[in-house]
Copies of this chain bind each other. A is one copy, B any other.
Amino acid sequence: MVPRYSRPAMTAIWSPETKFRIWFEIEAHATTALAELGVVPEEAARTVWEKGSQAVFDVERIDAIEREVKHDVIAFLTHLSEIVGPEARFVHQGMTSSDVLDTCLNVQLTRAADILIADIDALLAALKRRAFEHKSTPTIGRSHGIHAEPTTFGVKLAQAYAEFDRCRERMVAARREIATCAISGAVGTYANIDPRVEEYVARKMELAPEPVSTQVVPRDRHAMFFATLAVVASSIERLATEVRHLQRTEVLEAEEFFSEGQKGSSAMPHKRNPVLTENLTGLARMVRAYCIPAMENVALWHERDISHSSVERMIGPDATITLDFALARLTGVIDKLVVYPENMQKNLDRLGGLIHSQRVLLALTQKGASREDAYRLVQRNAMPVWRGQGDFLTLLKADPEVRARLSGEELEALFDLGYHLKHVDTIFRRVFGTA
């Protein structure tokens, strides 16, 4: 976790204080459930709640105990017994450390997922607003970085909206993947703990009981979670890359907002660099990479080994904090993006009408030319334009073979921008439900 790429709400989820609070809640709920089942005294459960709820867990004290016993949950329980007193011996009855650790991790991940979903919602809102603002702003569509045919800037943003809308759905599914609770004992047989304890704690922590845990919650769930984050990061990279391209000196159709006082370069004062989206590109690489160790974590040995733990101590915070930051940063970029419709128009005009070539091709075909002939006719008039030698419409008009099939008026009608944008409403209705 790098502070400059972190936001407080997400970071707080991963603080030791939050962790110990969740551990306490799991242990205390389990004690209550055990009391209800008559396994431990009701009084004990009450004492645990009373003393524990008021207590501030002393992270340094717990760390000190852990250095001695080399076991984090035992260290916490020892500290808890310092707070609760003798009744603490009824805590953790029949449970194993992983019952606490894994349920806690899942609580943290679901909370992280909630923030990430809210982040995507904010991004979607920004995208929608800007998409409608530029629904009819014409811009060139590019394939291979080469001008193709016109579209609108709103359509570009609508595509991003649709993509992040899918990401939202995926995040909701990913959240469901890891929203489980396991209180099943040393190898998951409930030998020393009634399954009803698990059901109780699950309900209280707003999780579902894990059908079969084997000391651990199975890690295919977490693999799917982090893989989903990796896909969301890849979509961030796509939109960030689009902005980076648009801000290129030669394109300059949009720019990241550049605040007063900001310095683009220590050496070249005129520069306005797309540093936020470049930064997002890098952050996306990180979030993406984390999915590999998460997947390698799945094949734990037998009922469990602890190799997943060091991985999750890293990627749990790192992936969620980084993605949260990236989504928020991207939302800011989109929200404040400076758009230059006039430059879009300038770029549209750059190719001397070549962007209408397909339409000419189709018209020739419809007038009876074979596909091959039409292609040849269009290409021979397109090439000089491409080399900067003339205007496409003029050349076509001057080509007798073309004119044999299309009148000057017919040719002119083919060079109409509106023709390309007539279905923008359809696209918007599909994406936003309304145009």
Contact = CB atoms under 8 A, between A and B. Distances in A.
A257 to B, nearest CB: 12
Given A212-B431, A282-B307, A292-B289, A359 B192 contact: yes
Interface stretch (A47-55, A105-113, A118-126, A220-228): A220-228
A423 B382 CA distance: 41
A223 B231 contact: yes
Nearest to A81: B371
Contacts of A420: 189, 191
Given A144-B301, A269-B361, A269-B378, A278 B292 contact: no
Interface in A360-375: 361-362, 365, 370-372, 375
Copies in the complex: 4
A147 B249 contact: yes
A354 B267 CA distance: 12
B273 A382 contact: no
21 contacts: A5-B314, A69-B262, A70-B262, A141-B303, A143-B271, A145-B302, A145-B305, A148-B186, A155-B189, A166-B177, A189-B427, A191-B359, A195-B426, A211-B427, A234-B298, A237-B299, A244-B301, A275-B306, A278-B306, A278-B309, A285-B296
Interface in A51-106: 68-71, 73-74, 77-78, 81, 86, 88-89, 92-97
Contacts of A281: 299, 305, 307
Contacts of A322: 314
Across the A-B interface, the 8 shortest Cβ-Cβ residue pairs: A141-B187, A270-B382, A282-B310, A144-B273, A234-B298, A285-B293, A250-B250, A142-B302
Contacts of A427: 188-190, 211-212
Contact of A266 (B97, B149, B290): B97
A328 interface: no
A77 B158 CA distance: 32
Contacts of A151: 187-189, 214, 303
Interface string A216-257: 001011011001101101110110111011011111000000
Given A148-B303, A150-B189, 6 more contacts: A95-B267, A144-B306, A151-B303, A230-B295, A250-B250, A282-B311
A186 to B, nearest CB: 5
